[in-house]
Every structure is written in structure tokens, then in C-alpha cells.
Structure 1
Amino acid sequence: MTRVLIADDEPLVRAGVRTILSTDPQITVVAEAADGREAVDAVRRHRPDIAVLDIRMPGLDGIAAAAQIRQIAPSTGLIVLTTFGEDEYILRALSGGVAGFLTKSGDPEELLAGVRAVSDGAAYLSPKVAARVVAHLANSGLRSAADSRAGARTRVEALTVRERQVLALLGTGLTNGQIARRLNVVEGTIKAHVSSILATLDVDNRAAAAVVAYEAGLVAPDTAGQNRPR
């Protein structure tokens, strides 16, 4: 059973998220919070497997709450809910250990897929979020030309052929075990590949590696999550 905390300052959004998650008998909502501070306190009390956080909340926003949650409960997987116009928040969250990025306007199945993926130790980027982040990185001044699409392709060329295969599958939201089955190898081999990929790409987590996969064209944004078994 995957135990989930929902944090959003809008009661209707919390109710909607709870309703969607309730359609999966393997997911249970153990707590709700109306702001970031309540979310951190709820994590201390309930130790959920997953925290679904609105990226903008009064007092303590989702990114700041995520940072505190990582300190007090590093095993709790972090997912943020975003709306359009919050790309810079997403970039901050990428470096803060957040593993899942979903839009409030996305398909309900994306929420379920995201919770399942992060619960399994994978990363999940909503197709809409992936497309926006890649475009934002390519067009903004937050990154140099070396980190544009061409730069991402250059970084990926430093990987072995097998590591590029693993990165492409990681970018679609598959876990190490699922990638191992897809490539007919043992899971420990995939874990070693992922560690090498993160080091070679100089990124801190799977979500950031997935963004590089999108930038390099290894994964099309509209295919994110489509390889995950239901």
C-alpha cells in the first residue's frame, strides 16, 4: 500500500486529488495539508511514502517544504503539482530532489502514474511539464548554449550505448526493475548504470537525468509515462 500526503491551499484541489487517488486500491491518502508548514508537520507525524505538494502555497511553498521533508524523511518521495507559468519553480525543484512533476490540468491518469512511478523509485515528468522545461532551458538565459539541445546531445554522447538505452527508458518513467526486465539484465546492473549516468551527466537525481534525455531527443515529451505498465 502506498501512503500519500496531499498538500494544497485549495480545498477543491485536495478533494480532486484525493478522489483520483482513491480509484487505485493500492493507494491511500493518510493526511492533507493546506500549506507547506502543515505538510512538513504531517510528514513528521505520518511518514507517508509520497508527498504530493502544490508548488505555490502560502507561508512555505512546495519547494521549500520539499527541502525540509527531504531532511526529516528522506525516504518520502516528492511530487509537485504545477500550473503554467511556473517553469522557474520547476527548475528549482529539479535541484531539490523532487522526483515527480505534474500539471493540475493534466489527465487524472498522469497523477496515478506519477505516484506509482515515484513510489517505485523512478522519476516522472508529465508530458506537458517535460515539454515546457525543455523549451524553457533551451530558450532562457538560465543555461548556457552548452546546455541547450545540442549541448545535451554532446553530454549524452559521453555515455556508453547501453547507458543511453537505460537513460531513454529512465526518461519514460520506468523503474530500475522494469528497465532490467526490458533489457534482460539483472536489476543490480541497471542500478550501476544509473549511478554512472548521473555522474557522467553531472546531475543529482533521476528527474534531472530525465530532462537531459528529453533535451537530447532520447525521449519525446508526448511519450512520457506511456511505457509504464498499468
Structure 2
Amino acid sequence: MPEHDNTALIADDDEFFRMALSSILSGRLGLSEVIETGSFDEAVEQLEQKPGITVALFDLSMPGMGNPANLRVIRELFPDIRVIIVSSSRRREDILAALEAGVHGYVPKGLGVDDLTQALKSVLGGSIYVPPSLADVSGLVSQRPAMAVPDEVPAPQPERLPPLTPRQRDVLELLVKGWSNKEVARMLDLGEGTVKIHLAALFRNLGVRNRAAAAVLGARLLAAEKDREADVKGATGSP
């Protein structure tokens, strides 16, 4: 197989598995550079800073990767990047959620080196990969997942804060205070593009379409969360 003059990103909190994937991507598949990160937030920052990334591999159970909305945002904002889930989960709902978010492959961690190499090679070659042994998802395996598009009807707003990454929560708290993207970027030492990615994920997670709605809903949910924490402390007698 000819060498790829491009860069891969691995986002997984298992350092040894990252090393194994990196060895396959560079040694067997010939990618010119492999970037390793241990969380979704770190991955977002690398995607923004490294325009040469052409394939990104995400673990479903790493810190920050708890919501399919995060995958949809990656696919929407980086449409030219091949996105692959490499996960130990064999649950049908996880496979379907990943495919519906628009990923290009769902690869189980239990594969041997040769099978894993072939799976990654298949995705790099333009195919959608899901092992038949993992899912009976008729029609979805052989078809390219459709890109997620904004719903005509806004999603129902949550009564509690949905699972957010640490960076998403930081951005939300500053958004509620009225900070601009440039100010948020300066406060959190991030690029403005990175802040925009986190905002897009926040909108998805909160079921809103703009920063004003996110600020209003975020303020209510953050206040409600603070009240609940105060009630718990009062009930337990915690200082």
C-alpha cells in the first residue's frame, strides 16, 4: 500500500492502546504523522490546530466522549476527515448511534493486529466498516451514513445539564456571563476556532440553535444544579 502523506489523530485514554494504533497507522499503513490525545477536549484542540489531519480515531469511553452529539459536531465541522470509532463496546445501540452520527467505521478493540489493520485500511480507502459479528444493522453497514442535518423542529430542552466535557462546561459558564468568543478564547487560552467547536457541541447537547438561547437555558440549568447541590449539602449536613 502506498504511503499516505497525511496525519492521523488518536483520541483514547488508554496509553498502551494508543501506542498500538499508532504503530499500525504509521508502520503498516504509512501515515506520515500520528497525534495522540487522551480526551475529547484535547482532540478538539488538535483538530483545530492541525489542518492536515485526515483520519481521527475516537474511543467511546474516553473522558468527554459520552454523547453522540459530540460525534455529529466533529462530522459537521470537519467533513473531510475520516472518523472512526475504536471501542470495546459491542452494544447495538452504540453502533447505531455512531453510524447515525456519520462516522466512517466502528472497529472493535478485540480484533487482532492483522484484522485491525485491514479494518483501518478499508476506512482509509473510502469504505464504511462495521464487522458483521458486531451488529445486525441491515442496510446501514453497506451504506455511507448520512450527514446529520439540523432538525426542522428544535429538540426538547433538557431539565438538567446534559453530560458536558470540562471545556464545554467552561465555555457555557463564560457564555452565561456574556463573554464574546474572543474573550472566552482568551480566558481559557484557546483558539477562537476551538471555542466555536465547543459552542457547536453545546448547542447540540442543549437542543438550541444559537448562543442567546444557550445562554438563557444554560443560566437556568446551572442555577438549578447549584440549588440541588445546596439541598444535598443541607440534607447531609455537609459544610
TM range (shorter): 0.5 to 0.7
Bigger mean CA offset, 91-100 vs 10-19? 10-19
The TM-score normalised by the length of structure 1 is 0.54
User: Does the 8 Å contact 2:11/2:37 carry over to 1?
Assistant: yes
Say yes or no: does 1:37 pair with 2:41. Answer: yes
Instruction: Tell me how far 1:40 sits from its aligned partner.
Output: 1.6
Of 95, 101, 109, 1:104 maps to 109
Of 43, 56, 60, 1:51 maps to 56
1:92-114, Cα deviation, whole Å (9 max, x unpaired): 01101111111111022233223
User: Does the 8 Å contact 1:53/1:62 carry over to 2?
Assistant: no
1:69-116, Cα deviation, whole Å (9 max, x unpaired): 212211000110121443311110110111111111102223322332
CA distance in 1, matches of 2:114, 2:45: 28
Of 53, 67, 82, 2:72 maps to 67
Match of 1:23 in 2: 27
User: Does the 8 Å contact 2:59/2:65 carry over to 1?
Assistant: no
Structure 2, gaps ≥5 residues long: 148-239
- The 1:112–1:46 alpha-carbon spacing in structure 2 relative to 1, beyond 3 Å, is farther
1:161-183, Cα deviation, whole Å (9 max, x unpaired): xxxxxx9xx84xxxxxxxxxxxx
Aligned positions, number: 142
CA distance in 1, matches of 2:67, 2:120: 16
The TM-score normalised by the length of structure 2 is 0.52
- The 1:62–1:77 alpha-carbon spacing in structure 2 relative to 1, beyond 3 Å, is farther
Match of 2:134 in 1: 132
User: Does the 8 Å contact 1:35/1:57 carry over to 2?
Assistant: yes
Please, what is the CA RMSD of the aligned residues?
A: 2.7
Say yes or no: does 1:93 pair with 2:98. Answer: yes
Structure 1, gaps ≥5 residues long: 138-151, 157-166, 172-193, 206-230
Instruction: Tell me how far 1:7 sits from its aligned partner.
Output: 0.6
SS in 1 for 2:134: helix
Identity of matched residues, %: 27
Kindly provide the amino acid, as one letter, of the partner of residue 95 in structure 1.
E
Higher helix residue share: 1
